[in-house]
Structures are given as C-alpha cells and as structure tokens.
C-alpha cells in the first residue's frame, strides 16, 4: 500500500509539473504576442506624433525599422523617417529615430530624433534644421496622441523661399513645446530661450530674444489625435499670454481672444503691454534704420498714451488680417494662414 500510494503521489506530482509547465508556455506565448502587439502600438503612435495620419492623406515611412527591449520594454529605431502630407503639399525628412516604452504602458512613449531634418512645401518654402539634442515624450489614447512634450537644445534652422528669394537663419539655445487635449479643446505652449535671427538683405541682426506663448484652441483637440480635418481655418481660441523679452527690462506682452475665418484671415481683440518704450524704440531703430522716423513717431504716440511713462497698455485689433493700434492707428496686414 505504501509503495502504491507513493507511486500515485509521484504520478500526480508529474502531472502537476506538466500542467504548470504548460501554463508557463502558454503565458510566455501570450506575453510574447502581447509584446509584439505593443510594438505595433508604439510604431503607430510614433508615426502619428511625427504627423502620419493615413486617413487624412498623410503618409509616414520608417526606414530599416527594428525593435528591441524584450521582455520588459519596447525599443524602436529607424535609420530615417519621412512624412508626406499630400493634401497640404508638405514633406519632411528626419534622421535617426529612437523610441522606447515600458511593456506594461506602451502608450507612454519616449523618443528622440537626430538631426539634420528638412521640410519642403509646394509653395517653394524649404526649412533645414539641425540640433544638438531633441527629446520628446507622448501619451497616446486610442489611436491618437493625447499629450506630448518636446525639448530641443542647440537648434539651428535655415529658411528659404524659392518664390520670393528671401532667406533667414534662426538659432535658439533651448526650445520647449507642450500640447495636450483638454476635453474638446487643445492647449498649446511654447518657450524659446536666447533666439537669434539673421535675415537676408536685412541691415542688422535682430536682437537676441527669449519668447513664450500659451494658447487654447476651442474644440480643436482633434488636431493632436488626427481626428480634426479642418485645421485652423474657422478655428477660434484664446491667446493667454505671449511674451517677447530682449533683455534689460524690454518686454512686450500680448493676450486676448482670436479667430480665423474660412479663408485663414486672423481677427481678434488683443491687449498689448510694452515695458521700456524708449529702449524698445532705440533697439528697433538700430535694427531698422530705414524706419527710423516711423519708429520715432510710434514711440512718441505710445508715450503719449502712457502719459509720459515708459510702460503702456494698449488695444491691438486684428480685422481679417488688418492690424490697428487703439482702434485707429494702422499697422499693416497679416497674410492668411
């Protein structure tokens, strides 16, 4: 009896181990399948972040795509990334792309791009750029992007228009961009530190500036996840704050509601605040000597509105692209987007 009981116990023990081994094999197979499924999720959302939206006529290509990181993370590399927006006539090329995500949170993706990059439009605009470092992360929701943050250090960009012959070179020490869905709205913010611009045939280098802006676009959350097909035409929103700081207290701030009509013209009621009116005028005169008399006149007007002080707050109105100060001083026209 004792031998028989021992044999039965041994047989049951073997069956239990076989069952456990089988379960482990099944779980490993399911985990491996889940890992490869997650790699597809990461791939789709990386290309979405770079602009690919097949249903909107935007195609993306990742050359020599490779995955790594199994079993605890997902890593993706591409030797080169290309995005082509056939509807808008815009194409872009980027160098090496690297991305990674935790296997249990494949919708939280960190990625980076190496320079150079190039963007071309059918309107004859070419933008070439390089940088020392570009890091980004995104949170995906469904098939789209719900939140993204991008940081660029050491940016150098060249902008050339083949139609006008105009060109400009822009540099920025540090750039940050944030975009997130806020219900049906889209929140966007950007900050640029120590930026310079050199424009062809321009008499002087523009002063070094640090700028920042934050804006909410009403009902435009779909611009981030790819579901919005209208773009900015017909869009409305609020510019919470846009700041230009060229140092020594020379700060210009703009805020207010705005909208774009169906043709892309801007309308809005903005509040413009200028600190150090006199020094701003001096800086602009140095940069634009040909406009010296106009700048002097504008400086006197602003000081008169400020009752002689060096800080002023005035209304800036945009009416289908036509800009005016305090409702009666014309400033020019902004072209449609």
Taking only the tens place, the pLDDT of each residue in 130-162 is 989 999 888 877 656 788 898 989 989 888 887
Question: Which among 208, 211, 185 has a CA at the least distance from the CA of 198?
Answer: 208
pLDDT at 12: 54
| Residue 92 forms part of a structural domain | yes
Q: What is the mean pLDDT of the segment spanning 98-121?
A: 81
pLDDT at 57: 58
For residue 28, pLDDT over 50 is answered with no
pLDDT at 25: 46
Higher-confidence residue of 200 and 256: namely 256
For residue 1, pLDDT over 60 is answered with no
| Residue 73 forms part of a structural domain | yes
Q: What is the mean pLDDT of the segment spanning 315-337?
A: 77
CA distances to 92, 100, 129, 160, 200 from 164, rounded to whole Å, are 21, 42, 20, 9, 11
Distance CA 254, CA 327 (A): 16
| Residue 11 forms part of a structural domain | no
What are 248-287's pLDDT values in tens digits?
A: 888 889 999 998 888 888 888 999 888 887 777 777 777 7
For residue 88, pLDDT over 60 is answered with yes
| Residue 143 forms part of a structural domain | no
| Residue 22 forms part of a structural domain | yes
Q: How many CB atoms lie within 10 A of CB 163?
A: 8
For residue 219, pLDDT over 80 is answered with yes
Which of the four pLDDT bands, split at 50, 70 and 90, describes residue 176? very high
What are 226-253's pLDDT values in tens digits?
A: 677 777 888 889 999 999 888 888 888 9
* Domain residue limits at 40: 16-109
| Residue 54 forms part of a structural domain | yes
pLDDT at 215: 92
Distance CA 198, CA 287 (A): 11
Helix (H) or strand (E) holding 92: strand 90-94
| Residue 67 forms part of a structural domain | yes
In the structure encoding, which two tokens stand for residue 249, read together?
Answer: 């207290």
What are 37-48's pLDDT values in tens digits?
A: 556 656 666 665
pTM of the model: 0.77
The total domain count for the chain is: 1
| Mean pLDDT, the chain, integer | 76
DSSP assignments along 288-337, one per residue = -GGGHHHHHHHHHHHHHHTTT-SEEEEEEEEETTEEEETTTEEEEEPPP-
| Residue 183 forms part of a structural domain | no
């Amino acid at each position: 009896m004792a031998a028989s009981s021992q044999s039965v116990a041994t047989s049951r023990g073997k069956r239990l181990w076989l069952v456990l081994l089988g379960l482990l094999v099944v779980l490993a197979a399911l985990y491996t399948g889940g890992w490869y499924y997650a790699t597809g999720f990461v791939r789709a959302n990386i290309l979405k972040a770079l602009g690919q939206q097949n249903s909107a006529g935007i195609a993306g290509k990742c050359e020599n795509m490779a995955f790594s990181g199994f079993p605890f993370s997902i890593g993706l590399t591409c030797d080169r990334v290309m995005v082509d927006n056939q509807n808008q006539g815009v194409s872009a090329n980027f160098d090496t792309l690297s991305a990674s995500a935790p296997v249990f949170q494949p919708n939280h993706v960190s990625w980076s791009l190496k320079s150079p990059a190039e963007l071309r439009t059918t309107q004859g605009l070419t933008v070439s750029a390089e940088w020392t470092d570009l890091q980004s992360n995104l949170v995906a929701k469904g098939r789209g992007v719900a939140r993204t943050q991008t940081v660029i250090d050491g940016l150098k960009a060249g902008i050339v228009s083949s139609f006008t012959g105009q060109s400009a070179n822009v540099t920025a020490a540090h750039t940050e961009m944030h975009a997130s869905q806020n219900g049906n709205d889209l929140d966007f913010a950007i900050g640029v530190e120590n930026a310079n611009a050199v424009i062809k045939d321009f008499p002087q280098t523009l002063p070094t500036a640090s700028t920042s802006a934050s804006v909410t676009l009403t009902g435009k959350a779909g611009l981030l996840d790819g579901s919005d097909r209208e773009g900015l035409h017909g869009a409305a929103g609020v510019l919470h704050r846009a700041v230009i700081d060229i140092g020594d207290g020379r700060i210009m701030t703009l805020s207010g509601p705005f909208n774009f009509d169906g043709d892309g013209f801007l309308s809005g009621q903005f509040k413009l605040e200028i600190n150090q009116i006199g020094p701003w005028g001096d800086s602009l005169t140095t940069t634009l000597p040909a406009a010296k008399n106009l700048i002097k006149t504008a400086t006197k007007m602003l000081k008169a509105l400020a009752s002689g002080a060096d800080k002023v707050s005035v209304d800036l109105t945009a009416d289908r692209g036509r800009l005016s100060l305090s409702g009666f001083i014309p400033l020019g026209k902004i072209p449609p987007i």
